[in-house]
Amino acid sequence: MAQTYDRGAVEDVGRWREFSAGMWAWVLHKFTGWVLVGYLFTHIAVLSTAIGADPAAAPQDLYTTTLVGLEDLLVVRLLEVGLLAVAVFHMLNGIRLLFIDLGLGLERQDQSFYASLIITGAIAVASVPTFLAGV
């Protein structure tokens, strides 16, 4: 006879207080995965400004002026640091998940999640001088 559990409603967002490390890892992995998909569309939209560009017209063409205009904005530079953090976390946590799928590191899941967060934070901080250069 199968057992049933009352797990409450998933719509009850107040339940984040009960989250364990593994639940935060799941939420962050979903969030970063979908941010990367969103960025991919944005990236293609920006690159598409090069369609039909005349190389002789640079640096006044739409592609160059779009990129220079974007890179002039502080918010874009900050979003780039955020994008790097999102990508690094997704990669590190994704590799961690693949190891777990192989049965490796099962007893150290919280520690490896925290290590992913710390390495992501360190790389994001180290990238700030590069991304904010010349702002």
Residues that bind ligand HEM (CB under 6 A): 29-30, 33-34, 36-37, 40, 90-91, 94-95, 97-98
Residues 6+ apart with CB under 8 A from 63: 49, 50, 53
User: Least CB distance from residue 35 to ligand HEM, whole Å?
Assistant: 8
**Closer CB to ligand HEM, residue 82 or residue 94?**
94
**Closer CB to ligand HEM, residue 50 or residue 94?**
94
For residue 12, count CB atoms less than 10 angstroms from its CB and return exposed for 0-12, middle for 13-18, buried for 19 or more: exposed
User: Least CB distance from residue 87 to ligand HEM, whole Å?
Assistant: 7
**Cα distance between residue 40 and residue 2, in whole Å:** 44
For residue 45, count CB atoms less than 10 angstroms from its CB and return exposed for 0-12, middle for 13-18, buried for 19 or more: exposed
**Closer CB to ligand HEM, residue 75 or residue 102?**
102
**Closer CB to ligand HEM, residue 15 or residue 30?**
30
Residue at shortest CB range from ligand HEM = 94
